[in-house]
Amino acid sequence: MSWNDFQYWRGIIGDEEAARLYLKKDKNTPKIGGGVQSSPAGLFDQPEPPVQAREHPRRTVSPNSVESFYNPVTQLKRGTQKERLFEAIKILGTCTQAELKEATGIPRHLIPDRLISLENAGLIQKAGSKIDPYTGIRVTTYSILTQQRN
């Protein structure tokens, strides 16, 4: 039964009966203009296919996240980045995080964590601050600890 059929029969047989016919898609629904409209045999006798629950496409925390962080390959990569920063500070002398980013190619958001690790290990120190020429903001400078210089 189409929507137009529903509207037509609603006025004749009442809302409830028309809704039952429209929603159930009864096999023998009245047809406008008389006669009987029938559906193919067994069409509405078959059960609906089961609905399969889909997994959310994006997980917030993977069970492997922690394992991945402490993976030896990841730790080696982190160590390599620290070594690159340490060598860059040796070469550049006193420098800012922006200068270290340009010198090493390490993404800007990774540099602070590596510098804190090097500072906690006693390899570098905060040497002071200076005005960044691009932003005009006062930024921290880093240098090798004086006892570490050769």
**What's the pLDDT at 73?**
76
**Cβ proximity of 121 and 128 under 8 Å:** no
Residue partners of 39: CB distance under 8 A and separation at least 6 = 25, 27
pTM of the model: 0.48
Q: Which residue has the tokens 């420098």?
A: 95
**What's the pLDDT at 48?**
65
Domain that holds residue 85: 69-148
- Decide if pLDDT at 82 tops 80: yes
Residue 73 lies in a domain: yes
Rounded CA gap, 121 and 3, in Å? 76
Q: How many CB atoms lie within 10 A of CB 3?
A: 8
Residues 81 and 138 placed together within one structural domain of the fold = yes
pLDDT tens digits, one per residue of 18-75 = 777 767 654 554 555 554 555 555 555 666 667 666 665 555 555 567 777 777 777 7
pLDDT tens digits, one per residue of 126-149 = 999 999 988 999 999 999 987 644
Residues 73 and 32 placed together within one structural domain of the fold = no
pLDDT tens digits, one per residue of 84-121 = 999 999 999 999 999 999 999 999 999 999 999 999 99
Residue 49 lies in a domain: no
Q: Which of 94, 116, 114, 92 is nearest to 103 (CA)?
A: 92
Rounded CA gap, 131 and 51, in Å? 62
Residue 144 lies in a domain: yes
Q: Which residue has the tokens 């930024």?
A: 139
Alpha helices in 93-127 (DSSP H): 97-104, 111-120
- CATH code: domain of residue 109: 1.10.10.10
Q: Which residue has the tokens 């925390």?
A: 61
The count of structural domains within the chain is: 2
Q: Which of 117, 113, 119 is nearest to 144 (CA)?
A: 119
